[in-house]
Amino acid sequence: MRRSVRTTAVAAVLGVSLGLTPGAAAVAEPPGTRLPVVTPTPQSIAGNGHQLRVPFRVGLVLAEGADQATEDLVRRTLEHAGAREVVDGEAELTVVAGLISDPGVAGALTEAGGAKPAELRPEGYSLAARAHGRGGLIALAGNDGDGVYYAAQTLRQLAAPGRIAAAKVVDHPLMALRGSIEGFYGAPWSHEDRLDQLAFYGDIKANTYIYTPKDDLYLREKWREPYPAAELAKIKELIGAAAAHHVQFTYAVSPGPSICYSDPADVKALHDKLASIHDQGAESFYIALDDISYTKWNCAGDEQKYGAPGQAAAGRAQADLLNGVQRDFLDTVGAQPLQMVPTEYSDVADSPYKKVLRESLDERIVVQWTGTDVVPPSISVADAEKAAQVWGRKVFLWDNYPVNDYGQTTGRLLMAPYDKREAGLHAALGGIVLNPMNQAAPSKVALFGGASFAWNDQDYDAGRTWRAAAEYLAAGDARTAEALLAFFDTQHLAPTFGEVVWQPQAPVLKAKVDAVRAEPSGAALRDLSAYADLLAAAPERIRGGVPDPAFSAQAKPWLDALTLWGRALQSTVDGLELAPEDRPAADAAFAESAELAAEAAKIQTIPGTTRPQGPIRVADGVLDTFLADAPGLIP
């Protein structure tokens, strides 16, 4: 039985006012008024006096809108902050959570120094935490149920052992859809990976997961066939887990390689497939028509109905199919509007294909777009506005970062900050989902940034969010976060599909080795020596400090290689420090460095985790080049 207090009159539970007037005395302690970094960056956040101490007993009052996931999160947060008992009702420190429309919740918000926003936007919330005596009052007031949950996620970031930062926050997302699309080629994520990702999305306020792994036979090659019972059960579990973390599970099917658009049996098979997933609890669906040819039909009937194959004919056939799914299936079951990715998904030029879909497609259907290229080096507001013009609606961005299933990405983890997307895109986009890597846990670095940008692109800071991602993975441990950032830097390079590099390789390391190239002694060499020690030690720090074992397991070959490359850099620095006074010893150090580098270069990717398998790359073009050049820096 639930022990929470549920009431539409929270004030009745709180009883008398806690007396948190503006003149109330705060706890006598050092000024702890500095706010921690909260990600995504709220639309408005300000200090609200002295930090709150967390007493032995904390009261929790839950109103309508605070679901089980919210309650569990608040309790975990309070216990992590030092509460030994979290009791129902009022206590020295009381947390009130629920819909802002509840008079008691709204009253608690005002009492704690917060304010109700003029406009109650979807998924938005207001939070206020104010100290009083040895405790205080915290109000988590959501505009809707999602907002209550997101208020609790912000509280988690305001809390630390023994204290909670005093703050007042008014917040809402700028983009409606934020999250990921599992759409890469190669080995799909495991079921455990997906469950972990859904929990992670809740933490970062992402609300969308599109399930469309290319290697799921039952959504592509065998799309007409029903899932085996065991696989269907897994999908049902994912749908339930997504809902618990306030994430929309979207099922995407790819019938394009074989569908006969004019065949009623194929249309029925598609509707039946979607119905089988709807029966498991899914409310969001997607038709993927990417990576197919529209220069040929899959059946003679399509040519008879739509004419010779070509752009306009393909557009007519696809529009009929998509409109039928929307009107004949989704409308009948009350599901969300259909989402789709078109065959032409990566430019802003008009075409006969786009013209037909623009003019024929049901206006509710959401169209995805990958930017001005398959992997664009940047995306501007002007780009998105042009895309909206050619598609006749706001587009939904499928961002092909940090996916690593092509070209120069082979052998790499892509762990640079989420960057080169222009502030203001929320006005031209319906949302953003990132296409992640085969390695689910390391993908969290980019996904953390993507969700933050989609929530508040106006105040997004790529570097700050990158550091926050490291701190999140490190569970707040500073030394582990430092090691992670050094590791991320060695996996910083990001190429486009056309092999143009849009994120530079190892910028931190490059600056340090370039300084040594200019002056191979003194402060620059000492700085590089300290960084070499960090790189060599980083893998073990990460393995011991990152709580998620999947991160170390999936990054294993890169961590193994970094240990060797770090030791090679240490040896090279030793050689530079020894020379020219002791050239034989310096040469021996350089030789040791070359041996370690050669050993590192032999490490291969884990079979099945990238396509194709290849050597592991660690700061390539920066670290290996410097090690080779270093002996020549000696006068």
Strand order in the sheet with 163-164: 52-53, 163-164, 159-160
CB 53 within 8 A of CB 134: yes
CA distance 384 to 364: 18
Which candidate, 214, 209, 201, 202, places its Cα nearest to that of 235?
Answer: 209
The token pair that represents 431 in the structure block: 């949302």
Active site residue 373: no
CB 431 within 8 A of CB 13: no
Question: Does a cis peptide bond (omega within 30 degrees of 0) precede residue 547?
Answer: no
Q: Tell me how far CA of residue 423 lies from CA of 379, 380, 454, 480, in angstroms.
A: 10, 8, 10, 31
Bridge partners of 368?
396
Q: Tell me how far CA of residue 316 lies from CA of 155, 339, 359, 564, 603, in angstroms.
A: 50, 17, 10, 57, 50
Cα R_g (the chain), whole angstroms = 27
Bridge partners of 126?
141, 170
The token pair that represents 253 in the structure block: 């099917």
Residues 561, 566, 567: CA angle, nearest 5 degrees: 100
Which candidate, 329, 306, 330, 333, places its Cα nearest to that of 317?
Answer: 306
CA distance 613 to 607: 6
Catalytic entry in 203, 215, 291, 527: 291
CA distance 597 to 623: 10
CA distance 416 to 183: 20
Q: Tell me how far CA of residue 219 lies from CA of 35, 222, 256, 343, 396, in angstroms.
A: 46, 6, 10, 17, 21
| Number of other CB atoms surrounding residue 65 within 10 Å | 24
CA distance 99 to 140: 8
Please provide the DSSP assignment of 36-51 as one string: PP-SSPPSEEEE-SSP
Which candidate, 631, 626, 601, places its Cα nearest to that of 616?
Answer: 601
Q: Which residues form the catalytic set?
A: 291
